[in-house]
Amino acid sequence: MKRKKARESDLTGKYLAGDLEEYDIGAQERFGARSKLFEAGKILKTALLRAEEQSDVDVQSLPIGDVVQVFSLFSEVDVSGKLYQCVVRKTLTKLADSAIVVGDRVRVRDLDLIDEQGKPQGVIEQSLPRSSILTRSDSFKGIEQHPIVANARQMLIVASVREPKVKWGLVDRMLIAAQGGNLKPIICLNKSDLGLDDDTQSALAHYASMDIQTLTTSVPATLGLDELKALLRDQVTVLAGHSGVGKSTLINAIEPTLTLRTGVISNYTGKGRHTTTSARLYPLPSGGAVIDTPGVKVFGLWGVTPDNLLDFFPDIAANIAPDWRLQSFDRIKESLPAD
């Protein structure tokens, strides 16, 4: 262990002195043995954190990339098709309204280093203003905000006919979050091969009557997939919905070059099992991108008050709301923190 420590500080010192060329992007071939790179992993992380403190950089000249996924210590950023593992400059973290999220557009400084998996390393030096932000609150009570996705143009609210059965209350909450965050909502009712009953059809028709786009899809029956593909083209779309409704399966179906992990529904409970565990952005070869998110049971609302809730229920304001929408309104209103 002692020996490892000594090597660690030696390498960090070398890096800081600008003398760590063997760890540049081409190093993967030269090393051959991956294990050696793996050993260097921890050392590089230390080097990265030190590099973050260097400030001799013209931020405006740095290339802009999209944050693809956020991990606890790193974010993955796509800069013109090249994926960087990035740390965030500490001062930036302090200045920004909130932490970096998937979809953020950021300026990245290339560190000329690769990690143990051969991924180039960088520093996020600046985060650009957001055109939209999808936010949840921490819980049903809404004490703290949790931005999830930035800069998406639209939100595909996915529900399924059965396994799990559609919960319109959750759809209503996600509609509010989309509209409140400046995203265009689209309701996608998946698994239509399992049978659409009259109530479901009339619920969809009701949303359509409020100018909300709706579509029904089935992956095994290939229904609605062309329509979905056309809706996603050239747009940045976040998919959200209960676990097991088929979000990842739909993405794989409309873009066969992608192979997202999908779940198996347990016959016993008919419930999804959170196969997707972290939001991730996937650029679409045909233009645009999709952001897959983990399933949710509840969607805590942020920025909605008992006073402005009615703004999101134009059907109630116009006196044409069916009972289930009135009930949904009451349940959401009850759950909001009284301010």
**Binding-site ranges for Mg ion (CB under 5 A):** 247-248, 275-276
The H or E element that residue 170 is part of is helix 168-180
Nearer to Mg ion, 51 or 228 (CB): 228
Residues 257-276 that bind ligand GTP (CB under 6 A): 262-265, 272, 274-276
Q: Residue 219 binds which one of ligand GTP, Mg ion, none, with CB within 5 to 8 A depending on kind?
A: ligand GTP
Establish if 295 lies at the interface with ligand GTP (CB under 6 A). yes
Q: Residue 33 binds which one of ligand GTP, Mg ion, none, with CB within 5 to 8 A depending on kind?
A: none
Establish if 247 lies at the interface with ligand GTP (CB under 6 A). yes
Nearer to ligand GTP, 119 or 162 (CB): 162
Q: Which of 12, 85, 151, 190 binds ligand GTP (CB under 6 A)?
A: 190
Give the whole-angstrom CA distance, residue 101 versus residue 133.
Answer: 9
Token representation of residue 287: 């233009």
Classify the C-alpha dihedral 214-186-203-317 as positive or negative. Answer: negative
Q: Residue 194 binds which one of Mg ion, ligand GTP, none, with CB within 5 to 8 A depending on kind?
A: ligand GTP
CB of 38 to Mg ion, least distance (A): 29
CB of 251 to ligand GTP, least distance (A): 8
Nearer to Mg ion, 276 or 328 (CB): 276
Is residue 263 within 8 A of residue 272, CB to CB? The reply is yes
CB of 240 to Mg ion, least distance (A): 11
Residues 227-246 that bind ligand GTP (CB under 6 A): 241, 243-246
Residue corresponding to tokens 């409970």: 269
Nearer to ligand GTP, 186 or 245 (CB): 245
CB of 147 to ligand GTP, least distance (A): 19
Distances (CA, A) of 141 to 176, 181, 244, 293: 16, 19, 25, 22
Establish if 191 lies at the interface with ligand GTP (CB under 6 A). yes
Strand 120-127 vs strand 82-88: parallel, antiparallel, or unpaired? parallel
Is residue 121 within 8 A of residue 115, CB to CB? The reply is yes
Give the whole-angstrom CA distance, residue 286 versus residue 229.
Answer: 10
DSSP letter assigned to residue 22: G
CB of 134 to ligand GTP, least distance (A): 16
Give the whole-angstrom CA distance, residue 133 versus residue 260.
Answer: 24
Number of residues that bind ligand GTP (CB under 6 A): 25
Other Cβ atoms closer than 10 A to 227: 14
Q: How far apart are the first and last CA of the chain?
A: 56
Is residue 215 within 8 A of residue 228, CB to CB? The reply is yes
Spell out the residues 6+ positions from residue 169 whose beta carbon is closer than 8 angstroms to its own: 328, 331, 332
CB of 126 to ligand GTP, least distance (A): 32
CB of 187 to ligand GTP, least distance (A): 15
Q: Using CB under 6 A as the criterion, which residues of the chain lie in contact with ligand GTP when the complex forms?
A: 190-191, 193-194, 218-220, 241, 243-249, 262-265, 272, 274-276, 294-295
